[in-house]
Structure 1
């Protein structure tokens, strides 16, 4: 049993199609039915005719990924689909051979999958997260006992022994360095900012944005974690009611509706629902209907706001979350 990373478009274009149809897919939709190719070399020649890559190396890499998708990913293998919209990774098991079938305008090359669980990024070991950062559409995760460790997470089990494996290995693949850095920060926040401490972090972001805030004390809060408003005394508009969840489970629509009720109770015009582990699809759908009244923040949004407002954080918060900005050259 192997573990593979399979992406659903550079920006997650096919992500929801994959989840809704229980499949994984690749791009290169101009390629014909991949079952017609008897060898990798035959597929490579057709790829060059269709895409006319300037570089034979790039053509070879892409043709190799296409061949791997159709022929090397085996029944029973585990696949990881990193979400572009949520701070989570979909984990599934391959249950069928390659199919050439149009299930959406941009989705024709398929492998049937049984989705097992959606797991927050912070739950994975750092070395596996690093491998998930490969920029290839299809890549095998070669870490020690990678598939077994991911299945243990799916089953809610803790590994009894520590796996000693290097974080960075020699490889010809390119990796998403930015995501690697974000994952390290996410894991630190996941360890050290739980419950009321996480609410303090969200409060720091709101204060840095210029709001006057009131944080509920530790303990039961009735769905009201922070109140925020503009003006010197917090009497001006907008007035925001904030509900915060730092659990490892995605928030469901019940929590969203609880926030809507609290907003009416405290007479706030706007609401902010913060979930460290993201939101299920139903929440995302309903929140779109309340676009002008409610915002959703997941771990991705928290990280982006930390980067944007970190310089305005208190010294105490900076000590708890020590970060340093640096620039690096991006090779094209």
Structure 2
């Protein structure tokens, strides 16, 4: 079965997307650790190699575990024929994997680990707004990789839109108009913070949450909403959400992310999400990325336009 992944190609925090396109390869970092292609390595041995070479000064295994998770996904989980979404600013590229993982010691700048790919859409970037909200959300990863098989249909849909030409379809233009109208309504002042939290709760239920509840203000430890999702009716994970209604004076900052982190840890949640009808500051992006790198726990940041798009795609008439 074909899988899909999101890969941020920025080893050592340097954008290597141009190199990836030129070489017909996808690239990941942690090049100082050789030998990860050894299929006999157990998870613990795999992680220990990264710990010894990159995080030997760390007091715990969090960062090594996060790095090992990304490298394991790149080397062990990805297969020939899988699709890889590569975000790059306001656009993204799409590739199909054509080889197993490679280690090329002659390469420089932390780019030794690679895979050969065939770039789709004639190597041309696809505008992010061609994608549906779940795919846009997945592309906002703050770590290096993320599984995206659950949005595979959305990936194929975005590719089809791009291949059909740059002229937007009627449906695309209609959705864009509805999103704009929805954002304006969310920001009009007709909804207070309590109603906004309940709207998010209802949206999460519509998106498949088995349970979703607004946390009473007196019991709020940093999460305004807690939701549980079940994967294949077997695995369950908890999502902690911090809701911030429209504020025309300031974007959502790192302080909101820090509040959510307290809620994630208090609820022992597996994922975090900040949802706002407004905008998100760069400091919030940095705080979410730092927490993901340190703990392996992802925090998604959903701004007003992305939230409106989710409402439209999930059926705004149901609210």
TM-score when scaled to structure 1? Answer: 0.48
Question: Which structure's residues are more often helix, by fraction?
Answer: 2
Higher relative contact order (CA 8 A, sep 6+): 2
Which of structures 1 and 2 has the bigger CA Rg? 1
